[in-house]
Each structure stands twice: as C-alpha cells, then as structure tokens.
Amino acid sequence: MRIAFLGVLVFAVCVAAKIGHIQIAEGEKWKKEAELMMFRNMPVPATRGNIYSDNGSLLATSLPFYRVAMDPTLAKNEIFSKGLDSLSLQLSRFYKDKPAKEYKEILKDARAANKQYITLNRKQINYQIKKEMSSWPIFREGRYKGGVIFEKIDVRYHPFTNLARRTIGFVNEEEKGAGLEYSFDEALGGKNGEALFQKIAGGSWKPVYNGNEIKSVDGMDIQTAIDINLQDVAETSLYEAMRSHDADEGTVVVMEVKTGRIKAISNLSADGSGDYTEKLNHAVGGLFEPGSTFKLVTMMALLEETNINLKDTINTGKGELTFYNKKVRDHEEGGYGKISIQDAFLVSSNIAMAKLVDKHFGTKPEKFVGYLDALKLSKPLGLQINGELYPKITRPKDKGWSGITLPWMAYGYGFEISPLHTLTLYNAIANEGKMIKPVFVTAITKGDKVIKEFETETLNSKICSGKTLDQLKLLLEGVVERGTAKNLKNTYYQIAGKTGTAVILNNGRYEKKYITSFVGYFPAHAPKYSAIVLIKNPKGIYQYGNSVAGPVFRAIADNIYSRDLNLHAPMEEKKITQVGVLPLVRAGRQEELAMLSNEFGVSHHNESDDEWVRAVKSDNSVSWKKIPMIQGLVPDVTGMTFRDAIYLLEKSGLKVYFNGKGRVSEQSLRPGTKISNGNKIHLKLS
C-alpha cells in the first residue's frame, strides 16, 4: 500500500515537472515571438525627383529636413557627464518647450534605463541647423560615439510658392494626388529601399544598421514647357481681372503654336473669403459650354460642306427667332437685320449660325456632329496630365436629341468641352490646319542624361482645306479688327480670335450668369502663341467676353510682344539724300545695281562678287555690302524692289503678302529667324 502510494507520488511529480517544462518552453517561445515582433523590415523612401521650368528653374524639389533623436547609452561616461548640462541648455534654448533641467533629467533617466532611442523633439530642422547641432556637446562625437540620430525626412518645396500650383500638383501618403506630381509619380518617385527597423517605446521605429540594407534609387527629374516669366504674367493678369469682376472661377492657358508646348497655365477659384486660390485644374478637367467660340466650328463645317460665300447675306431679323417654341436671341437689341455671313460671324450672331446650320445640316445632323469627332472635341485629348473628363456631346440617336439641339449647337450650347479642347482647335488654325496635342512635359532626365523626350504629337494633319483655312483666318482677324473684340486692336501687332459669352447651365436650367471667354492667337500673320482665357460668373456691368476675358488675353500678348524681339518688325532705315549719292540704290542684285549706278553716274566699288548686296554710302560713292543668304532663315529684303523681294522670299518657302508700292520698307518676319513650313510674311512697300 505504501509502495503504491510512493509510486503515485513519483508519477505526479513527474507529470508536474513535465507540465512545468512545457510551460517554460511555451514561455520561451512566446518570448522569442515577442522579440521577433520588435523588428521589422520597412521601406526606406527614395528622394523624389525635381520638376523644372523650360529654362531650368526649379518648380518643385525635395529638401532634406531632420528630426532629432538620441541613443543616450553610447556616449562614454566622461563625455556624457561633462556635456550633459551644456547640451540640455542648448536643447532648451532651441526648442523653447522645456527648461534645461527637464531635458537633463530626460537624458539621465533614459541612460540609466538603458534606452537606446528617444525622440528629443518632433520639430523638423533644416540642413543648416543640423550642421549647427552637430557641433553641440555630446552630439559632436557623432552617431556612434555621441548617440545623436538625425532622421532624414524629405519635404516637397516649391520655390515659386503658388505659381502653377495645381498643374505642378501633389502626391500624398494615401497615394492620391493631382497634377504633374501625380501623373509622373512613377518617374519622380524612384524606387524605395529597405532596411531593418526596431520598435521602441512609444510606438516609434528606429533603423538597425546590420549591413543588409537595400539602397533606394532616387527619382528622375521632369522638364516642363512652362515659362516662369510668362506664368507669372498670366496668373497676375487673371487674378487682377477676377478680383476686379468678383468672378467665381477662371483659367488661362498659353500655348506655343508650332510645338503645342504649354508655356503658362493658371486656374483660380474663389476661396469664400474674397480671395482666390488654385483648387481645381479647370483647363484640363473642367467642362463648359463653349458658347460663341464654337462658331468657328460651325463656319468650318459650312465652308467645307456647302457652297456658301462669306459675302452672301442672311436675314437675322430683329434679334429674336423661334425654333420649335424656343427662342434664339442676338446680343444687339433690335437685331442686325440683313447682313453678310462674314459680318454675322464678326458680330457673333446666334440667329445667323442657327439658321445656316438648320438649313444645311437639318436633314443630316450626323454630318455636322462628325466635325466634333474629326476635330477631337468629343474625346479626351490624351494629355500628359491626369484629370481629363469625357466631353458631353449629344448625338442624333441619343434620347436627349430634339429639334432644337442642332441649332443650339451651332452657337455653342447643349454640349460641354474643356478649355484645352477649344484652345487646341484654335491653335490648329494658327498652325496652318495642323492640330497638335498640348505638351506639358518635354523630357524626363537623370542628371544631364535625357531618359525620355516627348515630341510634338499630331492629332490631325489637316483639319480643313486650305481655302477654308484662309477664310477662317480672315474671320478671326476681322473679329478683332472690326467685330466684337475690336477693343483688343493695337497698332503694334495683330491679334486673331473669337469672343464667347455663354449663359451658365445649373441643374438643367439656364441662370442669368455668364461664362466669358476669348480664344485666339498672335501675331495674326505669323502666329507664335495661342491662348484661351475663361472667366466664370463675373459680376457688375461687364458681362461679356470682350470686356472681361479679352483684356486678360491682351495683357498677356502685350507682355510677350514686349519681351520677344523676334515678334517686332525691323526698324526702317533712314533715307538720307546727299549730293552724289542716289538714295534709291539701296539693295538687290549687285549686277543690276551697278548698272543702275553707272547709268546715273554714281561712283561704286565692287568689294565682292556676291549676287545680293546692300548699298553703303562711302563719301560720295557707294560700296556693296553682302546680304547673307542662309538656307532655312528669313532673308533681309528691306530696300529691295518688290520683284527682287518676292523672288527671294518665295524661293525660301515663304508665302508673301504686301501693301503699298515701291521698295520694301518693312517686313513682318525678322531677318535671320528660322523658317517653318507655311510661314507667311507681310511686306510694306513705300
């Protein structure tokens, strides 16, 4: 019995020991798992690439900032005790959040508790302050002997503050964003690295440098087409106009005609406190009824598909016409009566456009709507920047199509497109009918190496016939010369374009609020820039495109003209008559000028055998100076007879227009500028 009891006791002890062993083993396992939970491989962010303007100015860059932490266990006792008071005083003076005594206690307690990581302050410091702190007591011993930890944090910085803010854009931690930052995030963002981090008290993580880190690959840079000076002028002009008219929203875009490069873009919205800020990119993602600026498409379709002539007349009546129980009205009270089709466009008659389209396309509306497709107005343009929306176009087979849809479309109502759609169309007129896609970014680079270059992309090589194109140009020039935008006319250069004033559609009903716009190009005879200005809901006595949006366009064009000497006509040389010198012997073929000089007894000297020369007075005689003739560049034909000038210019591939008679006194294209296909040159003869 006793033996049996001892056996049971021994068995119980063994079981208890086994259970205890199991519990100890489980505890060790939990402990190891807990320790493993304290370490984790985490990404090390790459440095984001820069965004540059067309001349290399920084639009966005990442600047290094730092958060200061410390491992107070690393410093030797002598260094720590000797520098503690001074370091605590420095920290207190800089951060101004705790007295020096409190910083001293924090550091002493952390060292005593063998804490290997404490955040001294969450305030970020820049590189200059980091350098200064690196000289403080204890910190001056460095990372491994003094324990100081400067945790790098890249902060996005915009040197020009809000300039083109919405176009430059942003990317946030939730991987959402806007503008070029978001659209080119893959190139700008680079590739994150990876390193081991240890979790410490307070939920923070500190890096553990164990030699197995994967280095990050910094992002690439992008070169934009934006001209900083022009961007500043565009934003300022738009801002002042919106403040003056107490408007709700506004946008302006300036494009280079031949390349499609966006040189300036600004989008402003009222902030509710009397000021304006860039909230949304209206130019890219905004949809608006274009109003009268769309009449260009109407005229193009009419000129291409019918036999109408601009001098044909049309009766617009007394300014009001009923279509299927809906009224079409003209701006002029009492109407325009019977006028030519050309004048109907210049005064922006809604009735004329509605009647013409109804007459010629009423039985084949799909033919008219087809022009919206051909002109790339019915789909997103496929821009480099995210945010485009699909235009809202009603088609003949759609449920919403009715008898008034086509006449209303004729003058820009009943559908919505973006401002960039309209600008791209007008730019094509300036570009001799060649429609090109707007370009925001010209290249992706890495240092001095170009990784990818973005060439100009053609959307439609010829939007209409040459004859129609010439007529459309005539119409757009006429709008500024003697039409609705004659207030934009000036004596230095010519603008071509169209005003627009559309009533705002809100929840299916038109309000007594307007979207005013002006879109066009300049100089009219040798276009270099196109631009659109759109301002929504101006308040006060000015409610139309010519008086609200037009002056913004003119201010931008004036600034460009004043800065770009290539747009200026060369100054006329003084005509000096002196005894013994024939003033009309000025420029041309040397052989003919020499013969003319001999005939009139003018002494001359042959300094070269060049064919084309200019007369230079030398005492009472004339010497011949060579006129450079370089292929692909505009020659200097001032002083030549019209016969010689037109021969040289047409030989160079230029289309020549002129007024006056006699010799060439002025030419619209500056000598030495590059010739592009289809360039026109205007000569003044006197």
Give the residue carrying structure tokens 């006792």.
Answer: 77
Q: What is the pLDDT of residue 137?
A: 96
| pLDDT score recorded for residue 381 | 97
Residue 221 has pLDDT above 90, yes or no: yes
pLDDT one-digit tens code per residue, 451-482: 999 999 999 999 999 999 999 999 999 999 99
Query: pLDDT-based confidence at 605, cuts 50/70/90?
Result: low
DSSP labels, 97-121: SS-HHHHHHHHHHHHHTT---EEEE
Could you list the beta-strand ranges (E) of 257-405.
262-270, 276-277, 313-315, 320-323, 326-329, 338-340
678 pLDDT band, cuts 50/70/90, is low
Instruction: Give the model's confidence band at 4: pLDDT under 50 very low, under 70 low, under 90 confident, else very high.
Output: very low
Q: What is the pLDDT of residue 602?
A: 67
Task: Let me know whether 487 and 413 are in one domain.
Answer: yes
Average pLDDT over residues 604-624: 68
Strand order in the sheet with 39-44: 39-44, 193-199, 205-208
Listed residues 223, 253, 268: the one ending a domain: 223
pLDDT average, residue stretch 174-201: 83
At residue 580, the pLDDT reads: 45
Structure tokens at 428: 């094509």
Geometric angle at alpha carbon 170, from 164 and 176, rounded to 5°? 140
Phi, psi of 530 (to 5 degrees): -120, 155
Convert the pLDDT of each residue in 342-396 to its tens digit. Answer: 999 999 999 999 999 999 999 999 999 999 999 999 999 999 999 999 999 999 9
In a domain, 645, yes or no: yes
Please count the other Cβ atoms lying within 10 Å of the Cβ belonging to residue 125. Answer: 19
Q: CA-CA distance, 465 to 55, in Å (whole number)? A: 37
Letter string b/e over residues 652-661, b meaning 16 or more CB atoms within 10 A of that residue's CB: bebebeeeee
Q: At what angle do helices 77-95 and 100-112 cross, to 10 degrees?
A: 140
Last residue of a domain, one of 223, 254, 278: 223
For residue 533, is pLDDT > 70? yes
Picking from 653, 652, 640, the residue whose alpha carbon sits closest to that of residue 683 is 640
Could you tell me if 362 and 478 lie in one domain? yes
Asked if pLDDT for residue 21 goes beyond 90, the answer is no
Specify the CATH number for the domain of residue 366. Answer: 3.40.710.10
One domain, residues 411 and 262: yes
Q: How far is CA 423 from CA 178, 189, 372, 387, 486, in A?
A: 22, 32, 14, 17, 20
User: What does the pLDDT look like over 196-213, one tens digit per residue?
Assistant: 777 665 556 667 766 777
Residues 141-167: what's their mean pLDDT? Answer: 88
Helix (H) or strand (E) holding 588: strand 587-589
Number of domains the chain contains: 3
- Region 516-538: mean pLDDT is 95
| Digit-coded pLDDT (tens) for 396-421 | 999 989 999 999 999 999 999 999 99
Which residues constitute the domain of residue 651?
A: 587-685
| Same domain flag for 166 and 301 | no
Shared-domain flag, residues 310 and 265: yes
482 in the same domain as 350: yes
Query: Would you place residue 653 in the very low, low, confident or very high pLDDT band (cuts 50, 70, 90)?
Result: confident
* DSSP code at position 50: P
Least confident window among 160-164, 554-558, 612-616: 612-616
Q: End-to-end CA distance of the chain, in Å?
A: 143
Residue 639: pLDDT over 60: yes
**Reported confidence tier of residue 569, pLDDT bands at 50, 70, 90:** low
Please say whether the beta carbons of 472 and 464 come within 8 A: yes
Q: Work out the burial of residue 338: count CB atoms within 10 Å of its CB; fewer than 13 is exposed, 13-18 middle, 19 or more buried.
A: exposed
Rounded Cα distance, 370 and 149, in Å: 66
Measured distance CA(263)–CA(226) in Å, rounded: 4
* Beta bridge pairs of residue 655: 680
Same domain, 491 and 613: no
Contact 95, 124 (CB under 8 A): no
| Residue the block writes with tokens 């000076």 | 229
Indicate if the pLDDT at residue 15 is higher than 50. no
Q: How many CB atoms lie within 10 A of CB 573?
A: 12
Question: Which residue stretches of 157-209 are H helix?
Answer: 165-168, 179-183, 185-189
Asked if the model's pLDDT at residue 578 lies above 60, the reply is no
Distance CA 248, CA 241 (A): 11
Whether 6 maps to a domain, the answer reads no
Residue 451 inside a domain? The answer is yes
CATH at 593: 3.30.10.20
Q: Give Cα 586 distance to the centre of its chain.
A: 46
Of 223, 238, 262, the domain-final residue = 223
Percent of the chain with pLDDT over 70: 85
**Stretch among 74-78, 143-147, 298-302, 618-622 having the lowest mean pLDDT:** 618-622
Hey, which bits of 507-543 come out as E strands?
A: 509-522, 529-536
pLDDT class for 633, splitting at 50, 70, 90? Answer: confident
578 inside domain: no
- Decide if 575 is inside a domain: no
pLDDT value at residue 438: 98
pLDDT at 5 over 50: no
Residue 293 maps to a domain: yes
478 three-state secondary structure: helix
* CATH number of the domain where residue 206 is located: 3.90.1310.10
Strand, coil or helix: 562: helix
Round to whole Å and give the CA distance between 404 and 325: 9
pLDDT for residue 333 is more than 90: no
Of residues 572, 577, 606, the one with CA closest to residue 589 = 606
pLDDT score for 215: 84
Bridge pairing between strands 58-70 and 249-256: unpaired
Q: Are residues 172 and 266 in the same domain?
A: no
Any alpha helices (H) in 400-494, and if so which ranges? 405-410, 419-430, 466-482
Residue 384 has what DSSP assignment? S
Q: Please report the pLDDT score of residue 663 as a whole number.
A: 84
Helix (H) or strand (E) holding 64: strand 58-70
Alpha helices in 564-657 (DSSP H): 590-599, 642-651
Q: Which residue in 672, 490, 684 sits closest to 565, CA to CA?
A: 672
Q: At what angle do helices 295-305 and 466-482 cross, to 10 degrees?
A: 140
pLDDT of 38 strictly over 50: yes
Would you call 408 helix, strand, or coil by DSSP?
helix
CB 529 within 8 A of CB 257: yes
Quick one: 364 and 339 in the same domain?
yes
479 lies in the same domain as 555:
yes
Q: What percent of the chain has pLDDT over 90?
A: 58
pLDDT at 505: 67
Between these two residues, 620 and 416, which has the higher pLDDT value? 416
Helix and strand totals (H; E) in the chain:
19, 31
Say yes or no: 449 and 490 in one domain.
yes
Checking if the pLDDT of 488 tops 70, the result is yes
DSSP 3-state of 533: strand
667 found inside a domain: yes
pLDDT in tens, 105-117: 999 999 999 988 8
What six digits make up the tokens of 85? 């008071």
pLDDT band at residue 66, thresholds of 50, 70 and 90? very high
Distances (CA, A) of 359 to 301, 315, 316, 352, 353: 13, 13, 14, 11, 10
| Residue 392 three-state SS | strand
Return the higher-pLDDT residue of 545 and 38: 545
Segment 612-617 mean pLDDT: 72
Closest to 623 (Cα-Cα) out of 601, 602, 606 = 606
Q: In whole angstroms, what is the distance from residue 79 CA to residue 148 CA?
A: 13
pLDDT at 69: 92
Average pLDDT, the chain: 86
> Do 282 and 381 belong to one domain?
yes
Average pLDDT over residues 564-588: 59
Calculate mean pLDDT across residues 632-640. Answer: 84
Question: Rounded CA gap, 298 and 175, in Å?
Answer: 43
Q: Residue with structure tokens 């949304």?
A: 280
The residue assigned the tokens 């024939």 is: 582
pTM (predicted TM-score)? 0.74
Instruction: Please check whether residue 580 lies inside any domain of the structure.
Output: no
